[in-house]
Amino acid sequence: MTEIIISLLTGAVGGNIAGALLKKFSMGTLWNSVVGILGGGLGAQILSTLGLDIGGILGSIAGGTAGGGVLMAIIGVIKNAIKK
């Protein structure tokens, strides 16, 4: 349970980091966090499914941060493409 919570929290952080780095695709702090939380959960799940056991909490942090950032960037790109 702790690893899931860590994945979700680091997903929110990853989403906001990606939003800060990719300002063109940022959706604001709230939505970057929401999408990052979803991405964090997905990222950790994908890592565990692939069998990439980085090690408990460290794996949760890595998967959550990466998943949150990647999903935020993908959603930001889609959002911008729809606007045009």
- Flag whether 52 is in a domain: yes
pLDDT at 53: 64
- Report the distance separating Cα 3 and Cα 54, nearest Å: 12
Identify whether 64 is part of a domain.
yes
The answer to whether the pTM exceeds 0.75 is yes
Query: Does residue 45 belong to any structural domain of this protein?
Result: yes
- Residue 13: which domain range? 2-79
Identify the CA nearest to 19 among candidates 59, 60, 81, 68. Answer: 68
Residue 82, classified by CB atoms within 10 Å of its CB into exposed (0-12), middle (13-18) or buried (19+), is exposed
- 44-84 pLDDT per residue, tens: 888 778 776 666 788 788 888 888 999 999 999 999 899 87
Determine, yes or no, domain membership for 9. Answer: yes
Task: Provide the number of structural domains found in the chain.
Answer: 1
84, part of any domain: no
**How far is residue 34's CA from residue 67's CA, in Å, rounded to a whole number?**
12
pLDDT digits (tens, 9 = 90+) for 11-41: 999 999 999 999 998 999 999 999 999 999 8
